[in-house]
Amino acid sequence: MAVGIFDSGLGGLTVLNAAQARLPDVNFLYYGDNARAPYGVRDAEDVYQLTKAAVESMWDKGCDLVILACNTASAAALRRMQEGGLPKGKRVLGVFVPLIEALTERQWGDNSPPREVAVQHVALFATPATVASRAFQRELAFRAIGVDVEAQSCGGVVDAIEDGDLILAEALVRSHVDALKRKMPHPEAAILGCTHYPLMEQTFQEALGPDVQVFSQGNLVAESLADYLQRHPDMYGAGEGGYFTTGDPSRVSDRATQFLRREMTFQAA
């Protein structure tokens, strides 16, 4: 068994990398549905069915705990999977809550009523499906009041990253930031609401300016996971992890190695 990390493609590698650095003694099983990426342009039912099938495959491979390191999957599938009932001893967690807890300066697991927070104007950059779901705003409302969120759908960025065209990805990021600023000229904070986007974090920061605090998910999710595993040591799992993909293992291995700047070898899921 191992702790599972799922993403529609390569974006979840940013969470995997941070989690491995934070929890070096934990085995991780990464599963990328690269053959069907990106999820951000699919409808909610499609995302749910694909996510559910992937998570069940990860359970079959020995994972007890699966992190949906995909904001689109977290938005469209997480709550539905949890409410539908999970097999005994299995858990699925998303990536929104650690981000919102950091934004609102709440401790991990703080379930107190929503309250006013320091940051009042927040830019959300996400995939079209995540923006349409309004899942981020819904989760934020459980923890904070009076926060103005302006969401910007960032079409094309994930495709460019998956294709390895970082020049195009940078150009698209700058274009989307410009579009956001026309709607919200002076955001105080920016949420990178897709796990692909930390690969472009420097570009987002440069386009937004030095006064905007940029929140990305890798380290925040890793810290939240460490806290969760400390409270639930039975979910650590044991045995070998590994890297799996529904896409071409050779191509995905090359892309993953390029992104993380360390050798990664994927096998067919």
Query: What one-letter code names the amino acid at 179?
Result: A
Judge whether 154 counts as a catalytic residue. Answer: no
- Beta strand ranges found along the chain (DSSP E): 3-7, 28-32, 65-68, 91-93, 115-116, 121-126, 144-145, 148-153, 189-192, 213-215, 242-245, 267-268
| CA dihedral for 120, 126, 131, 134, sign (positive or negative) | negative
Judge whether 70 counts as a catalytic residue. Answer: yes
Q: Which residue has the tokens 């779901």?
A: 133
- Residues 6 or more apart whose CB falls under 8 angstroms from that of 152 comprise 123, 124, 125, 126, 131, 176, 177, 179, 180, 183
Integer-rounded Cα radius of gyration of the chain: 17
CA distance 32 to 268: 10
CA distance 50 to 70: 12
User: Per the residue annotation, which of 29, 58, 69, 70 is the catalytic one?
Assistant: 70
First vs last C-alpha separation in the chain: 16
Locate 44 and state its tokens. 């909610």
User: Per the residue annotation, which of 47, 68, 194, 220 is the catalytic one?
Assistant: 194
Positions marked active-site? 70, 194
